[in-house]
Amino acid sequence: AQSVTQLGSHVSVSEGALVLLRCNYSSSVPPYLFWYVQYPNQGLQLLLKYTSAATLVKGINGFEAEFKKSETSFHLTKPSAHMSDAAEYFCAVSDGKLTFGQGTILTVHP
Amino acid sequence: NAGVTQTPKFQVLKTGQSMTLQCAQDMNHEYMSWYRQDPGMGLRLIHYSVGAGITDQGEVPNGYNVSRSTTEDFPLRLLSAAPSQTSVYFCASSYQGQAITGELFFGEGSRLTVL
């Protein structure tokens, strides 16, 4: 069975600092991997997706994620945090059904 | 383009009451699904449908019923509400191929409190 583990339920950074949100997955088949973002009182939006075309995936709002098969990881990064990045981020894996991680709340301090 | 519309946005129920959460999409998506979101647990799949007349159970289906009489609508019914069903509920849809890869379009959520 597939699963996703997000390391750290809360991450706090200063505006302009590097954002790193960690995700490790478990899947018996080559997976589709995703990062979704949820802004306060809103539904989830797709941030980026990995579908085996390239290991470094670029998403919206300057975010990117790197698929590392040897580490079974799909960490999300952004070089410089902005106040508007404050949200909850979910890593997800799909092998036909979508399974979400527990979520990481990102706080950005001025 | 309205996308995925959920109603109501907020609801308070007493234990044992029944209610229906409505979900409608105007994108002609074959796949529709319901998730519940609880703190620290991410989103968990309740029920899903791959087309009109076809539904199936997800990870946490107990206490919930669904039906899919049209492509556009996918209501979620709570037959006898329990405090454990206090949660935020999300409806999501996609084209069939996107459902397999996991690219879903989400509604804004329905926050349910059961007293």
Interface test with A, best of B41, B56, B88, B104 (most A CBs within 10 A): B104
Provide the pLDDT confidence category of residue A6 given band limits of 50, 70 and 90. very high
Distance from CA of A81 to the nearest CA of B (A): 23
Interface test with A, best of B6, B105, B106, B108 (most A CBs within 10 A): B106
Residues in chain A closer than 8 A to B93 (CB atoms) = none
Contact B109 A42 (CB under 8 A): yes
What angle is formed at CA B91 by the lines to CA B86 and CA B97, rounded to 5 degrees?
A: 145
Contact B102 A43 (CB under 8 A): no
- Whether the CB of A46 is below 8 Å from some CB of chain B: the reply is yes
**Which residues in chain B come in under a pLDDT of 70?**
1, 99
The token pair at B44 is 């968990």
Does residue B99 or residue A8 have the better pLDDT? A8
What is the reported pLDDT for B102? 73
Q: pLDDT tens across A66-84, in order?
A: 999 889 999 999 999 999 9
Does residue B53 or residue A94 have the better pLDDT? B53
Residues in chain A closer than 8 A to B106 (CB atoms) = 43-45
Contact A98 B104 (CB under 8 A): yes
Q: pLDDT tens across A10-67, in order?
A: 999 999 999 999 999 987 666 789 999 999 888 899 999 988 778 899 999 999 999 9
Which residues sit opposite A109 in a β-bridge? A14
What is the reported pLDDT for A31? 77
What is the reported pLDDT for B103? 84
Residues in chain B closer than 8 A to A41 (CB atoms) = 108-109
| HEC readout, chain B | CCCEEEECCEEEECCCCCEEEEEEECCCCCEEEEEEECCCCCEEEEEEEEECCEEEECCCCCCEEECCCCCCECCEEECCCCHHHCEEEEEEEECHHHHHHCCCEECCCEEEEEC
The mean per-residue pLDDT over the stretch A85-110 comes to: 91
What is the reported pLDDT for B1? 62
Residues in chain B closer than 8 A to A97 (CB atoms) = 45, 58
The token pair at B14 is 């007493």
Contact A93 B102 (CB under 8 A): yes
Tell me the backbone φ, ψ of residue B85, rounded to 5 degrees.
-90, 5
Of the candidates A32, A51, A100, the beta carbon closest to that of B42 is on A100
Q: Give CA–CA dist B8/B25, Å, rounded.
A: 15
Question: How many beta-carbon pairs under 8 angstroms link A with B?
Answer: 52
What is the reported pLDDT for B13? 96
Smallest CA-to-CA distance from B46 within B73, B66, B25, B69 is with B66
